[in-house]
Amino acid sequence: MRLFGGKGPAITNGLDIGTSYIKLVRLQHLNEIDVNLLGYGLKKVPRDAIVEKEIRDHDTVLGIIQSLIDEVDPSIKEVSISLAGRRVFTDKFQVKVPKKRENLRESIMIEAEQKLPMGTEGLIIDYHILHESEDSKTAEILMVAVHNDFLRDYVLLMQDGGYSVVGVDVDYIALTNALKHNIIVNPEDSQVIVDIGNSITNLTFLLNGAYFNVRDITGGTLDIWKTIQMKLRVSPEELSQLESGEATWPNESEFQNAVYAATEELKMGLDMAFSYFENITKGNQISQLYLAGGGSIIPYLGEVLSEKLSLTYQVLNPFYKLHYDPSIFVGTSPEAIAPLFSVAVGLGLRKD
Ligand SMILES: Nc1ncnc2c1ncn2[C@@H]1O[C@H](COP(=O)(O)OP(=O)(O)OP(=O)(O)O)[C@@H](O)[C@H]1O
Ligand SMILES: [Mg+2]
């Protein structure tokens, strides 16, 4: 199976199997630019059913996916999925484009093998062409390698439910696509997409308006909410209401202080990652923060991080440029939930 891409249908279904929430969007591609959001949905995953992106409780996860699909559109049979975590490797390199272009894949594969110190056994390798020189002599390649059995677990899970996986991507490419579809990034500056998930925060760096590299930092909403719970002394029931946005804390400044304390570790992780980026790009500084994932919905989190890092921020709303019938957002607003769907939308936007 090829990683990356599907077969180019007019309707795509992006399924983001997160550790704490499974998200689905159904998109209709009207033309190259206009995309309709036909439906969306999310369902909570019980703790430990997925650990570090590995599916531990097959039946439970499949049951959740089936009920999510039934809710969004029971006719869905084909989905695109995303992989992430420590069993996905990535690297970037230049290759000479061979005179016979059909040999490009082979040249890339030879170079890719050199880049994998552990060898290529048991891995599936694929690539994206990020950039080609103007004379078409060299190309910049993004290589992605995943463990065969890791990918197979996902594909077999879907097959067991009677679905087929028509596209496989990785979180950071999906996020880059979601960003670029909705926001015009300044190619003069460097930006970072910070996807604050359940246990991991994923950073995708952009340089010259294009994907540059990626870094994971440990910690996400689980740790943030744990600290908020401790600081505000809330019960598990109250916490779950705060987490899902069903309730808000009555004393705003108290909540803001708790978020301030709860984001200290994340701030330190971001600082380190930004210094690393600055070093490897010989002095490029991040100028803009795009926040994605469930963490970006936590009240005050954006303001607090922006203040701590002295950077402007914007919450990535992957629905922003999509067309939709407003009635699909019953009882909620697109802005309130959109950041949860950045990966799912990015998956769905891909047609190639
Ligand atoms: N309806 C909601 N309103 C507000 N916040 C929510 C809502 N649903 C979930 N969240 C927050 O989003 C978090 C989950 O974020 P997200 O879905 O991005 O993680 P994930 O993709 O499951 O995790 P990972 O990427 O680490 O696998 C929850 O812990 C909660 O804090
Ligand atoms: Mg996620």
Q: What is the pLDDT of residues 140-174, one digit of tens each?
A: 999 999 999 999 999 999 999 999 999 999 999 99
Which ligand approaches the C-alpha of residue 219 most closely? 1
DSSP per residue, 234-264 = --HHHHHHHHTTS---S-HHHHHHHHHHHTH
Q: Helix, strand, or coil here: 94? A: strand
Nearest atom in ligand 1 to 171's CA: 25
| Percentage of the chain modeled with pLDDT above 90 | 81
Q: Whose CA is nearest to atom 14 of ligand 1?
A: 294
DSSP per residue, 264-308 = HHHHHHHHHHHHHHHHHTTS--EEEEEEESGGGGSTTHHHHHHHH
Which ligand approaches the C-alpha of residue 315 most closely? 1
Q: Which domains does the chain have, with CATH numbers?
A: 1-86+146-181+316-352 (3.30.420.40), 88-145 (3.30.1490.300), 184-315 (3.30.420.40)
Pick from 40-44, 197-201, 231-235: least confident: 197-201
Distance 226 CA to ligand 2 centre (A): 18
Distance 318 CA to ligand 2 centre (A): 14
Distance, in Å, from the CA atom of 206 to the CA atom of 191, rounded to the nearest integer, reads 5
Mean pLDDT of all residues in 247-265: 96
Distance 27 CA to ligand 2 centre (A): 19
Structure-block tokens of residue 180: 């670029």
Q: What is the pLDDT of residue 288?
A: 95
Asked if residue 126 lies in contact with residue 105, where contact means CB atoms within 8 angstroms, the answer is: no
**Which residues line the pocket of ligand 1, CB cutoff 6 A?**
18-21, 197-200, 220-221, 225, 243-245, 293-294, 297, 337, 340
Stretch (H or E) spanning 349: helix 342-349
- Strand residues in the chain grouped as ranges (E): 11-17, 21-29, 35-44, 50-51, 54-55, 78-83, 88-96, 123-132, 138-147, 164-170, 190-196, 200-207, 210-218, 286-292, 312-315
Which ligand approaches the C-alpha of residue 43 most closely? 1
Nearest atom in ligand 1 to 298's CA: 5
Structure-block tokens of residue 1: 């199976």
Distance, in Å, from the CA atom of 169 to the CA atom of 273, rounded to the nearest integer, reads 23
Mean pLDDT of all residues in 110-131: 88
Distance, in Å, from the CA atom of 344 to the CA atom of 352, rounded to the nearest integer, reads 16
pLDDT above 90 for 350 = no
Q: Is the dihedral of CA 329, 333, 336, 338 positive or negative?
A: positive
Probe residue for ligand 1, chosen from 40, 244, 266 as the CB with the greatest number of ligand atoms within 8 Å: 244
Nearest atom in ligand 1 to 225's CA: 31
| pTM (predicted TM-score) | 0.93
User: Taking all residues of the chain, what is their mean pLDDT, rounded to a whole number?
Assistant: 93
Distance, in Å, from the CA atom of 165 to the CA atom of 13, rounded to the nearest integer, reads 10
Q: Whose CA is nearest to atom 2 of ligand 1?
A: 244
Mean pLDDT of all residues in 226-241: 96
pLDDT tens by residue, 10-57: 999 999 999 999 999 999 999 889 999 999 999 999 999 999 899 999
Q: In what order do the strands lie in the sheet with 138-147?
A: 88-96, 138-147, 123-132
Q: Whose CA is nearest to atom 11 of ligand 1?
A: 294
pLDDT above 90 for 276 = yes
Distance, in Å, from the CA atom of 150 to the CA atom of 85, rounded to the nearest integer, reads 10
Probe residue for ligand 1, chosen from 44, 221, 249 as the CB with the greatest number of ligand atoms within 8 Å: 221
Closest to 350 (Cα-Cα) out of 2, 17, 29, 22: 29
Q: If pLDDT is split at 50, 70 and 90, which confidence band does 271 have?
A: very high
Which ligand approaches the C-alpha of residue 197 most closely? 1
Torsion (CA) 345, 43, 205, 28 in degrees, nearest 10: 0
As to burial, measured by CB atoms within 10 angstroms (0-12 exposed, 13-18 middle, 19+ buried), residue 346 is buried
Q: Helix, strand, or coil here: 310? A: coil
Distance, in Å, from the CA atom of 158 to the CA atom of 82, rounded to the nearest integer, reads 13
Structure-block tokens of residue 205: 């760096």
Nearest atom in ligand 1 to 199's CA: 26
Closest to 245 (Cα-Cα) out of 346, 342, 338, 343: 338
Q: What is the pLDDT of residue 1?
A: 43
Q: What is the pLDDT of residue 9?
A: 61
Nearest atom in ligand 1 to 50's CA: 27
Q: If pLDDT is split at 50, 70 and 90, which confidence band does 85 have?
A: confident
Stretch (H or E) spanning 336: helix 334-337
Residue type, 144: V
Distance 20 CA to ligand 1 centre (A): 6
Q: Whose CA is nearest to atom 28 of ligand 1?
A: 294
Q: What is the pLDDT of residue 3?
A: 55
pLDDT above 50 for 6 = no
Structure-block tokens of residue 328: 């699909």
Residues, Cβ < 5 Å to ion ligand 2: 18, 197
Q: If pLDDT is split at 50, 70 and 90, which confidence band does 128 have?
A: confident
pLDDT tens by residue, 295-326: 999 999 999 999 999 999 999 999 999 999 99
Write phi, then psi, for 137 (nearest 5 degrees): -90, -30
Nearest atom in ligand 1 to 293's CA: 18
Q: Whose CA is nearest to atom 31 of ligand 1?
A: 243
Q: What is the pLDDT of residue 52?
A: 86
Q: What is the pLDDT of residue 119?
A: 84
pLDDT above 60 for 4 = no
Mean pLDDT of all residues in 113-128: 88
Asked if residue 42 lies in contact with residue 49, where contact means CB atoms within 8 angstroms, the answer is: no
